[in-house]
Structure 1
């Protein structure tokens, strides 16, 4: 009879549960907005960016990047944030399961009667279990869990974006150090050349073949060449310190780099289509996941406006001695339903707030997509025009060298003043420096293109193995 009464009591609740409709986000159509069908410069090929730094075919660069991907402080912080987000998602999902708590109690009382009789002892042993479970009638718990899980997955994409940036920064610093070393060698050679010409001019002056003005002008050229060296050496030191920071080392740590010139430009990567960026760019994926997370938060806020149903159960054993603990027992089952009647519009306002947050994330997602396409286009255009500029600089340098040879020959023959020689020499030396710096800029445009195209290599980082067991299931949008 008792069992029938219990079933009869819960029957209305079961009917209510069967009639409940859970809140879920409405599917979005084309949240990324309009995208161009193809890039304006590169061919339409499937994008295949991998560990792009290996395209430079330099073990030194590869070693630096691999070290940074395991020791960089920004990346380690990103891993820590990912652990926090994963833990929050697990904590949120715990509400989907019943909770069970145990309690135990022991008391010992010694009593002496007022009549003066013998004292006696009283002992009480208690052991209890309490269980509770909230029925997710409207999907509030599920929606909250999904929102937190998607946020954790977005945090994983943030980590991937950080790894992508770290690799690019290491490659850029490495190239800059190479360029500064080339400039140092070049400037030292120019100083030596100017000193040699100074000796020749002084010798001609002693033989009355040149004027004092020629000597002073060449001395100025020597001083000008020497003044270019300290900034280059300072730049090298600061670049080494920046590279140490990227590698997780203190400034001043020794980094042994081979004495090699700037590498040649690798073959251009396949760019794929602009739509590929939705899957290849971690920042785009993170923005999309946060948009889906915001949509689930709206569903949770809507479900929170409806009543909630909780089931509780308690069981307790008690006895005067441990041996009789399970002789006396009691249990209780209860169900409670609570729902808002008047809250001053708090829950309705929360729904509107979460909808506004989702709208903000929608436009943030579209802006991120458009920014990604723009960065690819800019990198392509920059590389294209920088390549032409470097070629033009090389042609100008060749012409300047021919001009210098002719001016020097005419000066030796007494057909012109030394100022023409000095002007031609200065032009050659400035163009040599400009060519090195612009070759560096061309290589950096290529690094920018690799970074703009994104890739999948970030998800195979060594530390990623430590995260697999802790990561919630990914919700793909």
Structure 2
């Protein structure tokens, strides 16, 4: 066995030194895409003190839910397992550069007319590919790119999960506020209905007014079921995101009040920064590296390949002769591609076309990601302006309702004015809550688009 190992190790040192590998084409990537210096939308988030962008909402429950999801989410767990599988596959590819040895032994007793005879032999065989064509190196490069992509997939799943937890939490808070507003609106309309009923009983109002007030109250009450459904759906989605059976512990404490506002977070960066830190773009970039390596694999088939095999056998077939006879053999096989009808070159062309196609898809993905960021930036500015105007609308609607209600009680206004001002007040309050939730969701969309959460490690050590 020592003889076979030394022979193959010697071949490894001498032949690997003189082996030539085909050139794997350089993989295109972010450096081959011309990007603007900054996003066209002028909004910049207020500065924060923590790289975890969700902490800018200053909501302890949201922080707890996201941290729990990043630890317990089953989708993240699956990507981590696939990362381990890709790393194991890379180790397997690297092992092909080393000699392989296999040992064996056989023993038995033969019986014939002359009596019995024992037999025994021990042997070891080895194989070594010095990678003369460079195929093994290209395969290792492809496996390394796949392992790096698997690492970025873990980071991308974290990005998606963190953003989705924040969105569902905002939806919980929105529907919670809408339900509180529904209770307030119902109480307001019940008071109006009582006032109208009393005036009708006193002969100061028509029965039509009572029916109109009752209809408005019924329409408001009818919203409860839909809001409760939306709230339950958000709560169940949060349960799934944190790896729990839907319908478990309430995700939002009863003391929660209002849609969370954003105080500040990490800088948004530039489009070039986004390419360096958004994980799914890094996954796509590793796909380009892998595709370039596959081109190298196909090109290696155009070059000669060399393989070396050896065998050592100890024993002459009998127990007594086990140490007396020794046989060793060493062989080399050189494969020279001569004629295949153009198959190998066609496979190279196909691999090169696939690399070009992946680069086009990568560029398309970059444009889509930039579109996400731009939409989020525009959305933030729009909903900020909308929320400011709606705050004014709510204030004015409150004063208008109070005045119309007072005039109606004095007989100086009709019920239509009261109900109309009441509807406007309720609608303005609902719109204000929805706009605040949309603003918070747009901020989540911005940080999801530009890359967070942080924690992407270099894939070079994969």
> Does TM-score exceed 0.5, indicating one fold?
yes
Q: Tell me the residue number matched to 2:236.
A: 241
Aligned 1:28-47 pairs, distance under 5 A = 28=28, 31-40=31-40, 41-42=42-43
Which whole-Å CA distance do the structure 2 matches of 1:275 and 1:45 have between them?
21
CA offsets, 1:355-381, max 9 Å, x none? 011101111222222222222221111
CA-to-aligned-CA distance 1:321-372 (integer Å, 9 cap, x gap): 5564232211111111012222232211110111011101111222222222
2:434 maps to: 437
1:153 aligned onto 2:148: yes
Flag the 1:82–1:403 CA change in 2: closer, same or farther, 3 A. Answer: same
Structure 1 length-normalised TM: 0.88
Question: Is this contact kept in 2: 1:108–1:122, CA < 8 A?
Answer: yes
Cα-to-partner distance string for 1:248-285 (whole Å, 9 max, x where unaligned): 22222233521212222222541222111121111111
For the pair 1:473 / 2:449, whether they are aligned, the reply is no
Q: Shift of residue 429 of structure 1?
A: 0.7
Instruction: Name whichever of 80-89 and 215-224 sits farther off.
Output: 80-89
1:384 aligns with 2:381: yes
Partner of 1:134: 129
Matches within 5 A, 1:95-244: 95-113=96-114, 120-244=115-239
Name which of 292, 295, 299 aligns with 1:295. Answer: 292
- 1:49/1:293 Cα in 2 relative to 1: closer, same or farther (>3 Å)? farther
RMSD: 2.7
Q: In structure 2, how many angstroms separate the alpha carbons of the residues matched to 1:44 and 1:173?
A: 21
Deviations 1:157-211 (A, max 9, x none): 1221111001111111111111111111110121112112212221222222222
Question: Is 1:94 aligned to 2:82, yes or no?
Answer: no
Task: Give distance in 2, aligned partners of 1:33 and 1:200.
Answer: 69
Structure 1 residues 348 and 31: CA distance shift in structure 2, 3 A: farther
Structure 1 residue 447 corresponds to structure 2 residue 444 = yes
| 8 Å CA contact 2:152, 2:283 repeated in 1 | yes
Q: Helix, strand or coil: the match of 1:376?
A: helix
Offset at 1:141?
Answer: 0.7
Closer/same/farther in 2, CA of residues 401 and 173 from structure 1, 3 Å limit: same
Give 2:3's aligned residue: none
The answer (yes or no) to whether the contact 1:44–1:271 under 8 Å persists in 2 is yes
State how far apart, in whole Å, the 2-side matches of 1:152 and 1:385 are: 41
Contact 2:408 2:415 in 1 (8 A): yes
Distance, in Å, in 2 between the alignment partners of 1:368 and 1:32 is 14
**SS at 2:124's partner residue?**
strand
Aligned pairs (5 A) from 1:327-476: 327-455=324-452, 457-459=454-456, 473-474=461-462
SS of the counterpart of 1:135?
coil
| 1:301 to 1:47, Cα distance in 2 relative to 1, 3 A | farther
The whole-number CA distance in structure 2 between the counterparts of 1:457 and 1:42 is 21
2:25 maps to 25
**8 Å CA contact retained: 2:178, 2:430:** yes
Mapped partners of 2:177, 2:359: distance in 1? 48
> Following TM superposition, by how much is the alpha carbon of 1:45 offset from its aligned partner in structure 2, in angstroms?
12
CA distance in 2, matches of 1:190, 1:196: 10
Would you say how many aligned residue pairs link Structure 1 and Structure 2?
Answer: 450
Alpha-carbon distance change, 387 to 158 in structure 1, aligned in 2, over 3 angstroms: same
Sort the Cα spacing of 1:333 and 1:46 in 2 relative to 1 into closer, same or farther, 3 A: farther
Q: 1:234 and 1:50 mapped to 2: Cα distance?
A: 34
What are structure 2's unaligned runs of at least 5 residues?
Answer: 1-6
Runs of at least 5 residues in structure 1 that lack an aligned partner in the other structure: 1-6, 114-119, 461-467
Any idea what SS the aligned residue of 2:264 has? coil
Asked whether 1:278 is paired with 2:279, we answer no
CA contact (8 A) 2:30 2:275 kept: no
CA distance in 1, matches of 2:111, 2:330: 35
Per the TM alignment, residue 43 of structure 1 is displaced from its structure 2 partner at its CA by 5.8
Who is 1:55 aligned against? 56
Per-residue deviation, 1:232: 0.7
Rounded Cα–Cα distance in structure 2 between residues aligned with 1:268 and 1:335: 64
Listed one character per residue, the Cα deviations across residues 192-249 of structure 1 (whole Å, up to 9, x for unaligned) are 1211221222122222222212211111121111111111111111211111111222
1:57 positional shift = 2.0
1:80 equivalenced with 2:81 (yes/no): yes
Q: Which residue in 2 is equivalent to 1:463?
A: none
